[in-house]
Amino acid sequence: AQSVTQLDSQVPVFEEAPVELRCNYSSSVSVYLFWYVQYPNQGLQLLLKYLSGSTLVKSINGFEAEFNKSQTSFHLRKPSVHISDTAEYFCAVSDGDTGGFKTIFGAGTRLFVKA
Amino acid sequence: DGGITQSPKYLFRKEGQNVTLSCEQNLNHDAMYWYRQDPGQGLRLIYYSQIVNDFQKGDIAEGYSVSREKKESFPLTVTSAQKNPTAFYLCASRDRGPYNEQFFGPGTRLTVL
């Protein structure tokens, strides 16, 4: 069965510093990878996704993630964070081999951006 | 605007009572999902439905029930058999295909008094 591991439960960082949120998934022939963001007391919103093609995908607000098949990783990065980036971030995988009706979510990483 | 609505936003229940959480979508999505979120545990799948009149148990279905009589609606009932129902409940939908992302509602916070 597919699984997703987010290696850090909390990441504190100062404003304007770079950040990396780590995500590893269990291997499968074909996977589709997602990062979602959740602000307090709200639902999840899609941040970015990898389906195929270029291994580097970017969001409109400066986040990017790189698909690394050999390391089965999909780490999320931002070169300079803002206070408004404080939220919980979830890595997720959808398995194309088994129909992909279920999406497996990681446990989440809480990003705290400090002034 | 297309999206998913959940109601109510906050819900209080006495022990021993059943309660139903509403989830409606106007995105014309086939698949719908219910998740439970507890602090530090991420999202856990309760039930999902791929098509009208069909649904499957997720990882933590005990004490919950669902129905899918219409494509737009996927209500979740939290029964008195659920031992620890206080949590944040999220509904989501997705179009066909594993490459499609899920769209989430704003959530319902259930508190058992």
Q: What is the pLDDT of residues A58-95, one digit of tens each?
A: 998 899 999 999 999 999 999 999 999 999 999 999 87
Per CB-CB distance under 8 Å, the chain B contacts of A44 are: 43, 90, 92, 102, 104
Q: Chain B: give the shortest CA distance to residue A80, in Å.
A: 26
Cα angle vertex B78, ends B90, B24, to 5°? 45
Residue A35 is encoded by which pair of tokens? 């990062």
Residue A98 has a pLDDT of 60
Whether the predicted pLDDT of A96 surpasses 70: no
**B10-30 pLDDT, tens per residue?**
999 998 899 999 999 999 999
**B44-83 pLDDT, tens per residue?**
999 999 999 999 999 999 999 999 999 999 999 999 888 8
Contact B106 A43 (CB under 8 A): yes
Choose among A34, A49, A107: nearest Cβ to B42.
Answer: A107
Residue A30 has a pLDDT of 75
Per CB-CB distance under 8 Å, the chain A contacts of B99 are: 32, 51, 94, 96, 100
Number of other CB atoms surrounding residue A93 within 10 Å: 26
